[in-house]
Amino acid sequence: MMTLPEEEFAEVAADVGHGRVPSRTRVVAGRFFATGQGRLGFALLALMFLLAFAGPLLYPWSYTEMDFSAFMQPPSPAHWFGTLQTGSDVFAVTMRGAQKSLIVGLLVAVVSTGVAAAVGSVAGYFLGWTDRTLMWVADLLLVLPAFLILAIMSPLLAGGRWLLFVIMLALFLWMVTSKIVRGMTKAIKEREYVKAARFMGVPPAKIIYRHVIPNLASLLVVDATLNVSAAILTETTLSYFGFGIQPPDVSLGGLIADGSRTALYAPWTFWFAAGGLVVTILAVNLVGDSLRDALDPGGRGSA
Amino acid sequence: MTTGTATGTATGTAPVLEVRDLEVRFGDVPVVRGVGYTVEPGEVLGVVGESGAGKSVASLAVMGLLPRHAKVSGSVLLHGRELLGAPEKELAAVRGDTMSMIFQDPLSALTPVYRVGDQLAEAVRVHQRVSRERAAERAVELLDLVGIPNPRQRARAFPHEFSGGMRQRAMIAMAIANDPDVIICDEPTTALDVTIQAQVLEVLKSARRETGAAIVLITHDLGVVAGIADRVLVMYAGRGVEAGTVRDVYHRSRMPYTIGLLGSVPRLDAGRDVPLVPIDGSPPSAAALPPGCPFEPRCPMAIPACARAEPPLAEVAPGHSAACVRSGEIGEPRPVPPEDVPTAAAGAYPGVPPPRPREGRAVVLEVDGLVKHHPLTKGAVFRRRVGTVHAVDGVSFDIREGETLGLVGESGCGKTTALMEILELARPERGRVVVFGRDTAALTPHDRLAVRRHLQVVFQDPLASLDPRMTVHDIVGEPLVTHGYTDTGPRVRRLLRLVGLEPAHAARYPQDFSGGQRQRIAVARALALEPKLIVLDEPVSALDVSIQAGVINLLAGLADRLGLSYLFVAHDLAVVRHIAHRVAVMYLGRIAEIGGADQVYGAPMHPYTQALLSAVPIPDPDKERRRRRILLDGDLPSPADPPSGCRFRTRCPKFKVLTDAQRVRCVEEEPAVRPLEGDHGASCHYAEKLGVV
Amino acid sequence: MAGFLLRRLVNYAVLIAVATSLAYILAALALDPRSNYEGRSPRPPAAVIDAQLSLYNLNDHTPLIQRYLRWAGDVARGDLGRTWNGDRVDAELRRRLGVTARLILLGLVIGGVAGVLIGALAAVRQYGWFDRLSTVTAFLVLAIPTVVLANMLIIAAVWLNDHLGVQVFLVSGEETPGLEGGVGADVLDRVKHLALPTLSLAVGQIAVYSRYQRNMMLDVMDADFVRTAMAKGLRRRTALVKHALRTALIPAVTYFAFTFGSLLVGATITESVFGWHGMGEELVASIRSNDVNMVAAISCFAALAVLTASLASDVLQAVLDPRVRVG
């Protein structure tokens, strides 16, 4: 049995922990905010959140109230964005719609990215039958027309069951990411640090949790961001056709559908909702793109 | 900034290419800082240096092929005509015609979607007004000239259908298509196996004979330069630090860096008892150069003056210049006296008793008839199985306590597959793996974990083998945590110290370390559980020469002090020579020769070992030019379809001189490793000793 | 090779069968064709409604499994069944497929070609003014959902028509019914109808393709083989077009096949907003009209289109890229 020489086992007094390098999060944040694109995206997104969540608290009208003294009125100090045919306040309903879109978008992104990470990494790490089964399910969901299925299910969503809607949306958004995750997991599995962990006896679940997922973190963060805009778009489109968020709740898609009919003579009924949607998606996309650059210093666009 | 020029010794002839004060900056970072040289017709100039020395960038600058954001200044004269700043039209007319270039990685250097012949014909038609048919014909001739069999048929192949050696031949063919006056070769053989390297260097020599072109050969391999170059320019941190004839630079080095480089390179002609002399530290980053001589922080001979100003490359003898204030003192021809240079860890430790005889020591690893086949699939889109790769096909060896077995062979020989099969600790496809006396076929998961404790691994690429998201402390502590230790802190600090790192650096991430330090971290992790056997997969091949020596010495020292056994897998025979007690040479999934290192290197018996050893260049121009090189024909046969009988017979130089009656045996009977002298064995029916080093 | 393809095709067939069955079962559970008849005035007698529904295999009083088996048997024989009011589903689908193909083909081709050109140009002059402009524009365009874009186009066109007093763009349908004036007038009328929907499809495609192609081009522009081409003596421009663009086109072409397949059913918004009676519009209409058999047929077609497109893009890739070509 070997023994390490005595002098090498002598306790080292050196204090570990000094001169700690800046944490990765701070480095990434620094790079993110170093670009105009990142700052703009973050500012726009923050603004949308502020307006959507804080705005209604300070605003006299709620989205359910109707002003029977003002039908189809243009913007005024009383109704910042004007009113609809029903007398609803456009600012109030638009902010309510933006709220819903943002919440739905964020939740869907988190759920679908989570599913994608779990399915993709398990399939890519274990391969064989596990992989074939999981990827077959992914293929099946890819082949199903998501829009049609979601539309058929829409009656189930009536009565404020929008959380179910979130789950349904997420169910149709994870497949492509999971295939990418699977591919990258296969590559990471061949990386020597995973082999090293395997050969020192670390169990597979721990390897996935400790080595695979953390090294996919950048991909997952970026993907989650982009899934936010994909979810908002799908929600809007469904709502546009009346298959999404159901009345009495409002959504941007529904507002745009109604507004497009009156847009020619009452532009405020269309443009505020449409503008809010465009700004939200633009902000999310800008944040996603800047995050990608910030997380991947070797990547393009950071030169 | 002061600069110097490596002026030619032969006077009278006008230089083909003259480079003066060449500087290249990327943004604010000076990558090349005043490089100058001249090349005369038919001359070979070797440009050597480690990665980051700026040698490739300098050569791309000469060709005018750097990206647009690079700022280039100085002067590049081709036949006296200035190329720097010349309009693109003029440059394009010169490139590929008067001056051509060969790149390092021939796979990525050829356009994947065009046929090789068409790409060659394109090179012809850019500069010569010939018909499409004539150009195609010329392409075939060129392929024939560089020794590609069936050139007419091979011209219709796509680059990915060529082997590495064939691609590099095609690149050479492309470079000589228009009979150039200068060929710049950027690491032309670095991506190739050593026997293929020997072939390609031969082709390069004949290309020079055919065209009479001057060659600028950029490489990090001191052995290659010793064999082929007339003059040498040594580069460090973006500039030339020593220049002169090859014999002057190698035997009468005047710059401590050159001396250090020559002292740290593993040599085939020096064994385990001759320790390598590493250079302390690592090369400076181009973005943060020290104020004085860039080598000063690493230089064992530095004096205060060195840190003040950067010395110019000045003539120290006729035709020999060096950039060192003390070059005058470094007068006499010598190999470096070891006491001049502090050693980090010497190879032999006086306190360690000489090992007991081999027979008396316990066997830690026994591999018997190991077989691993895997399916060969084809097509990325329409993936399907087209055959079976006989990656490992009956390999046997054993390793005893305190012993290092070097498993060597070229790429595709199955050495890495064999190693992975051992590390899996599962029942092999066929054969037996016995670790510490326990057959892996019979291990329960619990037993397997217990065995893993004493069997550790170090991989090739130190960056890839360390999880970038974990601190050094977590990395080195991972095996400890996995095997149930709780308070890992003190032990991790001890381990870091053991491999020569600052324990205080445990909180850092792998990317904060240099290549050599990262490999030390990987070694620390392997040592954490006090293993008996460590498997090393090409542990130093990703490192620069000056760093490599330190890691080799560390490994050798640890083995001696801690009584470790190593299975050391490598393609570099010179590295193995410095660390292994015993050597096994693999070819196409089988062992060609196995035995004590001194026997195998000193008197190899298998024709493949002989050819392999003869192909490894020795960094000594006199020795290297006296050696007889055994060139092998063609490429490695496909491991999916190995030749019948002896697998080496298709390329065997001995097979060629056998009588037909003798050959029958080679074709029909697969030779087994048979002991020839003590435990030295070779799998050849007609083995005989031959000194080649 | 043949065995491999066969296995892949069998897998595709299974996927389509499972996907279509799932869609049928979901639709049969969630949709209510009975309400279509009950909503009529005068309201037909229950027995008549039952008879009609049973005739079209839509009767919710029949157990689902029975309806499913009958439907599946018919489909296996190539009969996609009837719509809720008795039309043949396959005839209707065929008609609508023609409309959709006419709608998306031009938009996709314009989008693909323009996008590739813009992306390649932007990459060649990375960080130049054109690159910045195209990047910013692409970002803006990608943030505008088709719903908003299509409506914006209509608003703009109506405004333009009003101001000019001439009907420059026509915003609804594929052609003006009962138009007289010969072939020339007919073509002009179709172009006027086609312009806006084509634009609404193409703009998004251009944005996507230009970003994609820019990245592909940047990947290969620094590749060693482009440097080799220049070392041979080719000028930068020639090397970029002949060697870099040719290689970077492969993913764009394969992606094109894929987009085409998914848009066959996916142009829902454009078709609905511009009143084109194509597949996408029918998808929405069939759900609104509780048309179970139509929903199932569209799902089947969508699955078929996606898989065919993915197969086609694989084949295209194999044709264009010798590295993955079958040996």
Sort C242 into a burial class: Cβ within 10 Å, 0-12 / 13-18 / 19+: middle
Query: If pLDDT is split at 50, 70 and 90, which confidence band does A22 have?
Result: low
Nearest residue in A to C139, CA atom: A282
Q: Is residue C158 in some structural domain? A: yes
**Which ranges in chain C belong to alpha helices (H)?**
2-30, 33-38, 46-55, 64-76, 89-124, 129-143, 146-164, 182-221, 224-232, 236-239, 246-266, 268-274, 279-288, 292-320
Residues of chain B with Cβ-Cβ distance to A19 below 8 Å are 504, 507
The total number of residues written for chain B in this structure: 693
Are B454 and B563 contained in the same domain? yes
Q: Is residue A122 part of a domain?
A: yes
Judge: A274–C299 Cβ closer than 8 Å, yes or no: no
Q: How far is B44 from chain C (nearest CA, A)?
A: 20
What's the mean pLDDT in C15-34? 91
Considering only CA atoms, which of A250, C56, A2, C195 is closest in space to residue B564?
A: A2
The predicted model gives B442-459 an average pLDDT of 91
> In whole angstroms, what is the distance from residue A116 CA to residue A141 CA?
13
Residue C48 has pLDDT above 90, yes or no: no
Sort B132 into a burial class: Cβ within 10 Å, 0-12 / 13-18 / 19+: exposed
Nearest chain C alpha carbon to A154: C30
Q: Is residue A3 part of a domain?
A: no
- Measured CA to CA in angstroms, residue B545 lies from B39, B86, B300, B460, C289 at distances of 27, 38, 17, 15, 76
B369 and B226 share one domain: no
Q: Which of C222, C230, C317 sits opposite B381 (nearest CB)?
A: C317
Residue of C nearest to B61 (CA): C231
The DSSP secondary-structure symbol of C244 reads I
Instruction: Say what the pLDDT of residue B381 is.
Output: 62
pLDDT for residue A24: 66
Within 10 Å of residue B353's Cβ, how many Cβ atoms?
Answer: 6
Q: How far apart are CA C296 and CA B379, in angstroms?
A: 36
Return the bridge partners of B214, or none. Answer: B182
CA B267 – CA B573 distance, rounded (Å): 9
Residue C295 phi, psi (nearest 5): -60, -45
pLDDT tens-place string over residues B310-340: 899 989 889 999 999 888 887 654 554 444 4
- pLDDT band of A20, cuts 50, 70, 90: very low
The predicted pLDDT at position B584 comes to 96
Most confident of A46-55, A143-152, B179-188: B179-188
Q: Is residue B590 part of a domain?
A: no
The pLDDT, as a whole number, for residue C1 is: 58
CA dihedral sign, ordered C148, C152, C155, C158: negative
Q: Are B599 and B677 in contact (CB under 8 A)?
A: yes
Q: Which of C223, C232, C325 sits opposite B122 (nearest CB)?
A: C232
Host domain of residue C302: 98-326
In percent, the amount of chain A with pLDDT more than 70 equals 88
CB contact under 8 A, B93 and C231: no
Q: What is the ipTM of this complex?
A: 0.85
Q: B389 and B286, same structural domain?
A: no
For an interface test with B, the pick among C131, C225, C245 (most B C-beta atoms closer than 10 Å) comes out as: C225
Task: Report the range of poorest mean pLDDT among A23-32, B210-219, B541-550.
Answer: A23-32
- Identify whether A152 is part of a domain: yes
Question: Is the domain of B344 the same as that of B460?
Answer: no
**A207: in domain:** yes
The model's confidence at residue C90, banded by pLDDT at 50, 70 and 90, is: confident
What residues have CB less than 8 Å from A77, skipping those under 6 apart? none
User: Which of A11-15, B69-73, B243-247, C135-139 has the weakest average pLDDT?
Assistant: A11-15
- Evaluate whether residue C85 is within a structural domain: no
A277–chain C Cβ distance below 8 A for any pair: yes
- Residue B192 domain-assigned (yes or no): no
Q: Out of C225, C233, C236, name the one closest to residue B109 (CB).
A: C225
Determine, for residues A147 and C283 on separate chains, whether the beta-carbon distance falls below 8 Å.
yes
Say if A20 falls within a structural domain: no
pLDDT confidence of residue B368: 94
Q: Considering its fold, how many domains does chain A have in total?
A: 1
**Distance of CA B657 to CAs A277, B607, B661, B672, C325, Å?**
82, 12, 11, 21, 42
- What is the model's pLDDT at position A111? 95
Backbone phi and psi for residue B217, each to the nearest 5 degrees, phi listed first: -105, 110
Last residue of a domain, one of B580, B607, B636: B580
What token pair was written down for A131? 């992989």
Give this prediction's pTM.
0.82
Q: How many domains does chain B divide into?
A: 3
Residues of C in contact with A139 (CB under 8 A): 15
Neighbours of C306 (CB within 10 A): 25
- CA B297 from centroid of its chain's CA atoms: 26
Q: Tell me, yes or no, whether B299 lies in a domain.
A: yes
State whether C299 and A241 contact (CB < 8 Å).
no
Host domain of residue B401:
359-580
| Domain ranges, residue A220 | 35-53+80-295
Closest approach of C234 to chain B, Cα-based (Å):
6
Q: How confident is the model at residue A301 (pLDDT cuts 50, 70, 90)?
A: very low
Categorise residue B530: left if φ over 0, alpha if ψ from -120 to 50, beta otherwise. left
SS3 B361: coil
Please report whether residue C192 resides in a domain.
Answer: yes
pLDDT of residue C61: 84
Q: What is the pLDDT of residue B332?
A: 54
End-to-end CA distance of chain B: 44
Residue B241 DSSP SS3: strand
Residue C22 maps to a domain = no
- The rounded mean pLDDT for chain B is 88
For residue B510, report the phi and psi dihedrals to the nearest 5 degrees: -55, -35
Please indicate, yes or no, whether residues B329 and B378 belong to a single structural domain of this protein: no
User: Mean pLDDT, to the nearest integer, of B298-307?
Assistant: 89
**B211 part of a folded domain:** no
Give the residue carrying structure tokens 């973006």: B238
In this structure, are B602 and B538 located in the same domain? Answer: no
In whole angstroms, give the CA distance from residue C268 to residue C271. 5
User: Which of B29-33, B232-236, C29-33 is the least confident region?
Assistant: C29-33
Nearest chain C residue to B171, by CA: C228
Candidate from C159, C287, C299 with C-beta closest to A144: C299
Instruction: For residue range A192-212, list pLDDT tens digits in order.
Output: 899 999 998 899 999 999 899
Least confident of A194-203, A243-252, B91-100, B650-659: A243-252
> Which of C 292-321 lie inside 8 A of A, CB atoms?
295, 298-299, 302-303, 306-307
- Classify B47 as helix, strand or coil: strand
Partners of B476 on chain A (C-beta within 8 Å) are none
Task: Considering only the C-alpha atoms of chain A, give the largest distance between any 2 of them, rounded to a whole number of Å.
Answer: 94
Is B109 touching C (CB cutoff 8 A)? yes
Output b/e per residue, B608-641; b: 16+ Cβ within 10 A.
Answer: bbbbbbbbbbbbbbebbeebebbebeebbbebee
C229 and chain A in contact, CB less than 8 A: no
By residue count, chain C amounts to 327
Task: Collapse the DSSP code of A32 into the 3-class scheme (helix H, G, I; strand E, B; otherwise coil) and give the result.
Answer: helix
**Gap between the Cα atoms of B635 and B641, Å rounded:** 13
The domain that holds C198 is classified in CATH as 1.10.3720.10
Partners of chain A (3+ Cβ pairs below 8 A): B, C
Q: What is the CATH number of the domain that holds A266?
A: 1.10.3720.10
Q: Is residue A6 domain-resident?
A: no
- pLDDT (average), residues C174-191: 82
Could you say which of A2, A19, A214 has the minimum Cβ distance to residue B530? A2
The verdict on B457 and B534 lying in the same domain is yes
Using the Cβ of A11 and the Cβ atoms of chain B, whether some distance falls under 8 Å is answered with: yes
Q: Report how many Cβ contacts below 8 Å link chain A to chain C.
A: 108
Mean pLDDT of A149-153: 88
Question: Is A68 a member of any domain?
Answer: no
Q: How many domains does chain C have?
A: 1
The tokens for B385 are 């199985």
A209 near B CB under 8 A: no
CATH code, domain with B405: 3.40.50.300
**B194, B612 Cβ separation under 8 angstroms:** yes
pLDDT bucket at B487, cuts 50 / 70 / 90: confident
What type of residue sits at position C93? L
Query: Which residues make Cβ contacts (< 8 Å) with residue B568, sequence separation at least 6?
Result: B404, B405, B406, B407, B536, B539, B576, B579, B580
Q: B179 touching C, CB under 8 A?
A: no
CB within 8 Å: A143 and C145: no
Of B448, B498, B503, the CB nearest to A14: B503
- Per the prediction, chain A carries an average pLDDT of 82
- Give the tens place of pLDDT for each residue, C284-296: 889 988 889 999 9
Domain end position, chosen among B552, B580, B608: B580
Mean pLDDT of B170-180: 93
Amino acid letter, A203: P
Residue (of B690, B693, B676) closest to B593 by Cα position: B676
Same domain, B390 and B452: yes
The residue type at B13? T
CB burial of B561-595 (b: ≥16 within 10 Å; e: otherwise) equals: bbbbbbbbbbbbbbbbbbbbbbbbbbbbbbbbbbb
Phi, psi of B52, rounded to the nearest 5 degrees: 90, 0
Contact B158 C4 (CB under 8 A): no
| Chain A residues in contact with B504 (beta carbon < 8 A) | 14-16, 18-19
